[in-house]
Chains A and B, each alone.
Chain A
């Protein structure tokens, strides 16, 4: 091939080139009859018959249809949209088709015409009609015939905003938007030009900004970077201004009759004007320079970030500023390290020694790394396979001369080129430049391929670029699920392909199967899902709560169990019987449910217990409830319920305790009525203590008898109560009245604790065990008394021991 620079046009200090991507595959398409909408990044074309044209083709098949073609003119599908009137069409980045109908409804279709989502911009009763619309990758702006301006900024989460319009809006000539990510407010701004020489800028929650111009605007376009605005006026002039209207960059008089059919930006600051009627495509640069291209057929311009795609009846071309890295390699009469390297590499092929010398020279000048990098990058930007190959060869040669060159760059570029050249082939028809590829990212490219159902190629690309294959595989499986065929076959083919892969979301495949109405298949697919967190919500949606609950329990995740349970409680379709039936025999679920109900829904809990035939639990729960109230009658009522519950569960002990408690509460109540005492809430022991402390002995006795409090315990309680009130005499009488069932040691102890040793001494003689007596006497330092015990016991060693402990001045006998 010749030097590519031969096809370049020098323009405004730069070079521009036009490249033929494809000869269109389609036949009999006359673009002048269609409205074309193209997806960015070399993407698909949507064609709709232009209603405003006199219909020349009278066949029914063309009406009410959107035709989707690749950039190479291969028909992918036709979408029949019925009797509505289309007002605007656009593409999302992942190539879903956005269609705005006149009745203010918006539909999102996939490439094959399946409706993904419908959004109504206005309420039906309003009967609003679309006047003008602008559709972009993620949103929509509609101007209705009743002068309302409605904006959606995200189709994923379609919230409709209404912007304030000026009071008197003249006849609209053009409408354009500045995308949210370019505006200061972060919201879409709308530009509307009117016949009365005005331009309005409309933004969310603000008054319209009005600009008065010398002449009316016919058409206006915002640059891909959002910084520049180009508009064409009634007098035939093209203006370029900054979007904040601070700076005027250009006023150019086109000297052409009529208005352009389309204005488009091309590679930065250059503007293209399509004067279709004059067969002229006019390119205007910032410094008033211009270039004319002649077309003798209708064309459609698609603005890309690095140039303009030109679609005509016969061709798909690309007009761009030649990337700066390419220019010095091929420009005649200019030398650069990369150019030298390129030449040297060519020389090598011709087996001359000149190549080696050249490269050594570049190396000596320390420019070889730069040269290699430039050749690599230039290869990326080149359209021709041959030039790509030559540049890669040059880079490859150059890097062999370099120590420590980072070889990955070469490998990456080689892979990128493989990918780009692959998708550019005719049948796929994605004419993506290297710049676009880098901007859109591999993820989006794969998404588009998968949307086109090019699963195999997408998978190969993933493998080539070491990207995760999960998404592609899942999407393949989802498409497989939609295909006809027996559930068995579909399941087998999916499992055999995906079963071994890690981290595949079978839940999302099952979800598709479910929405396709293939319930059984969905359930079978779900069984292959590893993550219960994915399984359970779907099973709930599929109205399979029992299975969902089983899976949730298996996962051990309480959260998921609750998810199922709460769903069933809140869903009116699930009667209590049904719910109980499902959770029966599922101990873990029941326990969690109980825990929740205790806090949130006691009524339900009682129903659950009775359903599960667990009256003991009802009884116990009623006791819990009784502690939450302080109304005596309420407590008694709850106690009676508990008592009945225990009796039906044949828990005789609990029943007895509860009945006794009822008796006891009544006793306390009476006591409070008769006396100034406050006893309710206290235990039997505590009540006894209070009664004794306050000298209600008769009542204390009655209480003791009523609940057959053992003597031992009663003695302890009485003893402690009297001691706490320091009623020592009474204590002594009490101890003497009867024989103590707890011995007399406790009496001594309690007196010692209260530091009344004289009292303590009174009880020691009553103690049976002599050795204990001695112990206490010694504790109270009554050595003589201790000695007496020892003597009466005739225990010599004990006596000796006592003497040893006693102070020397005390006369303790030496012998018994």
Chain B
């Protein structure tokens, strides 16, 4: 199954297709450069990203015998060429080094083959990674390279670097991945033309905008291409960490919340899709290649079921046309349409099953409903829910979900009262462990969990009022607040204001300055006069890429799509991002991955003892059986 999105009929950003081909070709060239049979040892998170660029079976044609996920576990192979495909993360380097050293040690044994090692960094090699490999004892015989997998088309309107660690890096203050973002945006501009106007909000976005301009000079971009994107709006995720904490209630966002979507793929228990008897998880691609999904993805969950019913009726009426067929011509017509109808039918079945399962997990689940209630009360009326949260901790519910609502509350009310702040933190440490002192530290630094500093004029209540974020009438009028059942994602609201002819940049700038950050501004990139003329002649709506530095949620993506459909927008928006995120991922990225050695040692000991006991038991039984046999035989002899 391929998750490659069909790019043949693009209205906007026509250059993206050749861009993706370019990236695919680069990868195949890398494979060609390593002649003969090879095994690819790959960072697990890159597999998904890769399959958005090329069909995995193509690898076989290029002599790739094996695709092995990168880990420290030893594995044996007779393949001579081992190609590592890794992110330039320090933590991955240890695994690479382990593998190379293991294989090199094996080489000294007699019967083994001489192996060659290639390490390709995605998207760029870094000095520090090479240095760490060196320090870990990887010899100079390794050949290094780069694979510039930058922006990946997830969909016609979604472009992501698929860098899942980006936000975690920003939490730690490591902004080195901004460089990759900048490179990615420069490199795609050589296919879609230079983007003439850049807006930014947030510290990282500001740095990024400066980097983009500098890099453009260095890389000598061709400025004669007609720009296919007119505006680039760079937004820091840190401007709004509140929205991701709110449960996503559009179809695609809900699927992500419940099952998790990775590189457009969702893995479902077979029972969800009504396929009993299967054990392996069902993989399902969620993108606009599936026409039905395109219609569903942005809908509020409450509207999904009615829509599906309507759809089911129309499909069955299409089947009925066969019965009404009067002559061969009608029948022929029907048969022509049949594959489409069948495809739609199959897709319909899948989505109905999925919707039912979602229903059971949400509207059929009092826990879920209760939480939603508290969430909405917070968002709409700033009504606090200390008892609820306290109760959740007492029950030792999943920490991520606890922190999500706790942080939401803290951000909505502008910080917890001193006593409460300490109480909850104390509860969390006692219940979930001392190591969450790191989590609390990070959350505080991000401003997601903090002590109240008295009434603030820049608090959420003010934002809510000024930006008019609440619109509970979303079911009747098309409005993007539907993605959170009445609460409109703040950034999308700001986007709407920026590109609204009545409000525009000055209003946007004031709002951002007042409520978010002093780092707001705009920059221009020069383009050739010819390109300018051609852009003017273009009759399509100008395109704006809203780029989220640090991640965007599916709810926000849907909100942007709904914004596109709203009548008063004169700009067509598309999404760019470092990665697609959600509340859980953001909370999790504040966790410090420390392993409790004492506990691990104990577990190991426990398991070892258990094994020994089992073995002892087995031996006992064996001896008993032997004794029995002997006795029986003796008995026979006596007889």
Contact = CB atoms under 8 A, between A and B. Distances in A.
Interface of A: 502-503, 530-532, 554-559, 562-563, 566, 587-588, 590-592, 594-596, 599-600, 616, 620, 623-624, 627-630, 632, 635, 653-654, 657-658, 661, 678, 680-685, 707, 709-710, 712-713, 715-717, 742, 746
B391 A712 contact: yes
Given A556-B207, A595-B90, A683-B434, A630 B597 contact: yes
Interface in B569-597: 592, 594-597
Interface of A is mostly: helix
B132 interface: yes
Given A556-B178, A680-B598, A661 B396 contact: no
Given A559-B127, A712-B391, A713-B427, 9 more contacts: A555-B211, A556-B182, A557-B176, A562-B127, A623-B438, A624-B594, A661-B434, A683-B431, A716-B396
Contacts of B426: 657
Of the candidates B128, B220, B592, the one having the most CB atoms from chain A within 10 angstroms of its own CB is: B128
Interface stretch (B61-69, B167-175, B530-538, B620-628): B167-175
7 contacts: A502-B220, A503-B220, A530-B218, A556-B178, A556-B210, A600-B132, A712-B391
Interface string B363-393: 0000000000000000000000000001101
B278 interface: no
B217 interface: yes
Contacts of A707: 430
A398 B147 CA distance: 53
Of the candidates A627, A629, A661, A682, the one having the most CB atoms from chain B within 10 angstroms of its own CB is: A627
Interface string B149-186: 00000000000000000000000111110110010000
B631 interface: no
A588 B601 CA distance: 37
B597 A627 contact: yes
B432 A683 contact: yes
B214 A591 contact: no
A623 B594 CA distance: 9
A562 B569 CA distance: 45
Contact of A558 (B179, B214, B391): B179
A681 B172 contact: no
Counting from the closest, the 4 A-B pairs by CB-CB distance are A558-B176, A591-B173, A681-B599, A627-B594
A699 to B, nearest CB: 16
Interface string B421-441: 010011101111111011001
A562 B127 CA distance: 8
A627 B595 contact: yes
Of the candidates A532, A555, A558, A712, the one having the most CB atoms from chain B within 10 angstroms of its own CB is: A558
A681 B594 CA distance: 12
A594 B176 CA distance: 13
Contacts of B427: 710, 713
B396 A685 contact: yes
Contact of A681 (B135, B396, B438, B602): B602
Contacts of B602: 678, 680-681
A595 B174 contact: yes
A657 B429 contact: yes
A587 B203 CA distance: 12
Nearest to A713: B394
A620 B437 contact: yes
Contacts of A594: 172-173
Interface in B599-632: 599-602
Contact of B437 (A555, A623, A710, A746): A623
Nearest to A533: B218
A193 B172 CA distance: 72
Interface residues of B, number: 53
Nearest to A563: B127
B393 A713 contact: yes
A555 B173 CA distance: 17
B112 interface: no
A555 B391 contact: no
B174 A712 contact: no
A556 B178 CA distance: 7
B476 interface: no
Contact of B131 (A566, A588, A632): A566
A442 to B, nearest CB: 23
B126 interface: yes
B436 to A, nearest CB: 9
B370 to A, nearest CB: 13
Contacts of A620: 437-438, 441
Contacts of A627: 435, 594-597
Given A530-B217, A557-B179, A595-B172, A685 B430 contact: yes
Nearest to A685: B431
Contacts of A715: 394
B214 A681 contact: no
A632 B210 CA distance: 50
Given A530-B217, A592-B176, A683-B431, A653 B425 contact: yes
Nearest to B599: A681
Interface string B271-301: 0000000000000000000000000000000
Nearest to A684: B430
B78 interface: no
B395 interface: yes
Nearest to B434: A661
Interface string B117-130: 00000000011100
A592 B174 contact: yes
A642 to B, nearest CB: 9
A682 B174 contact: no
Contacts of B211: 555-556
A628 B430 contact: no
Contact of A682 (B176, B217, B599): B599
Contacts of A587: 173
A710 B422 contact: no
A707 B427 CA distance: 10
A629 B602 CA distance: 13
B162 to A, nearest CB: 19
Contacts of B425: 653, 657
B176 A716 contact: no
A710 B394 contact: yes
Contacts of B207: 556
Nearest to A630: B597
A566 B130 CA distance: 13
Interface in B504-561: none
A657 B176 contact: no
A94 to B, nearest CB: 27
Contacts of A653: 422, 425
A43 to B, nearest CB: 35
B394 A559 contact: no
A796 B438 CA distance: 56
Of the candidates B126, B427, B432, B433, the one having the most CB atoms from chain A within 10 angstroms of its own CB is: B433
Given A556-B178, A709-B430, A716-B394, A562 B128 contact: yes
Contacts of A632: 598
Nearest to A715: B394
Interface in B196-244: 207-208, 210-211, 214, 217-218, 220
Contacts of B176: 557-558, 592
Contacts of A717: 396
Nearest to A617: B441
A390 to B, nearest CB: 44
A654 B220 CA distance: 52
A556 B597 CA distance: 37
Nearest to A711: B394
B430 to A, nearest CB: 4
Given A627-B435, A653-B422, A678-B602, A591 B218 contact: no
A530 B213 CA distance: 11
B63 to A, nearest CB: 29
Of the candidates A624, A632, A681, A716, the one having the most CB atoms from chain B within 10 angstroms of its own CB is: A681
B126 A558 contact: yes
Contacts of A630: 597-598, 600-601
A600 B429 contact: no
